[in-house]
Structure 1
């Protein structure tokens, strides 16, 4: 099964098909309705598991893509915040120079410099608010990215469990071992639980 949601036949898929075909066309001695029932049950379970696995694989790919997108957004906001802090520093430098000029100017020029200082102080306050807002947005995107990445890991674990379950189904069909059928169901149930945890953001 690929990341894009297309189904790619693996070795276990071919074994399943072969085992089912062999059981249907070449029944073993003493073959009874119980064994036929077992084959049918495993075939149906495998189809259901493969379908759910395809959904889980899609969700895994989606959350991985979202995690990368959100991390990229966080980087963009962080760069914008850094630009604002540089702008803030530039205004601080201009304010310091204006204060020096005010302190060394004749009395008739001091008010003009004081007005510039007040303007720079006001501009710095506005820039500070923008920079802080951008930093908070960057942190928010980072948090969302982490949530999506955690979900991706859950979906990947669930998908892997279902793939193992399908492999056990193939082995159960080939060997006619009941414990392998139970193993298939157990691993599939575990995969469904992990998938539910992913859906619930746990």
Structure 2
């Protein structure tokens, strides 16, 4: 789920404008709709919707940013894995050369030839250790980038969940504004609180 797909300014736009129009009428509308309706409810929903839409836009941006980071880190990890594979191929080539040098040493007719091939064996052994150390370091680096990518993707899911909850809350706000139902207003507050809670969890990397 990409960050660009979260449109927090969707279903509530018309209702927010409607709320502003009603709020402009002042206390006359409030007097005519005491209790579950009226200006107080309209003003509450208008304010709530504006705040939640703003927070939702921030959450959507963070969701897109963490998804981009996850892709970048995963790509870096793949590059490092390729580099590690190249190092291991180089290591294998050195092992093959070392084996041939050992065979030549064992079949050498003179001590001088054996010493010459032994020097090659020692050199290849030293080079293999250096290559192995480099390959293991690159592999560890690739694993670290993989872990960072997984962490960013986890945060992306958190931001996506928070954004979705806020979108549902805005939808409930629109319905509450149309139906004048107090329980829907409480519902929008409840779902909005859940969305904010998930957002806080994302900030804390939970």
Q: TM-score, with normalisation over the residues of structure 1?
A: 0.91
SS in 1 for 2:38: helix
- Whether 1:83 aligns to 2:99 is no
Among residues 172, 176, 191, which one is paired with 1:187 in the alignment? Answer: 191
How far 1:20 sits from its partner (Å)?
4.2
1:170 Cα deviation after fit? 0.8
Conservation of the 8 A alpha-carbon contact between 2:8 and 2:57 = no
1:74 paired with 2:70, answer no
How far apart are residue 3 of structure 1 and its match? Answer: 3.5
2:177 aligns with: 173
Q: CA deviation at 1:19?
A: 4.8
CA distance in 2, matches of 1:138, 1:60: 24
Partner of 1:101: 104
- Mapped to 2, the partners of 1:7 and 1:67 lie a distance apart of 21
Q: Answer whether contact 1:20 1:173 (CA < 8 A) is retained.
A: no
Identify unmatched segments of 5+ residues in structure 2.
none
Identify the residue that residue 161 of structure 1 maps to in structure 2.
165
- For these two proteins, the number of residue pairs brought into alignment is 201
CA contact (8 A) 2:161 2:198 kept: yes
Q: Using structure 2 for the length normalisation, give the TM-score.
A: 0.90
SS in 1 for 2:33: coil
Residue 8 to residue 146, structure 1, CA distance change in 2 (3 Å): closer
Structure 1 residue 13: Cα displacement? 1.6
Q: Aligned to 1:10, what secondary structure does the other structure show? A: coil
Q: How many angstroms apart in 2 are the aligned matches of 1:109 and 1:175? A: 98
Structure 1 residue ranges (4+ consecutive) displaced by more than 3 angstroms after TM superposition = 2-9, 22-29, 31-34
Distance 1:149 1:3 in 2: 12
Q: Structure 2: how far apart are the matches of 1:170 and 1:8? A: 13
Q: Does structure 2 conserve the Cα–Cα contact (< 8 Å) formed by 1:60 and 1:153?
A: yes
Distance 2:200 2:123 in 1: 57
Q: What is the RMSD computed on CA atoms of the aligned residues?
A: 2.3
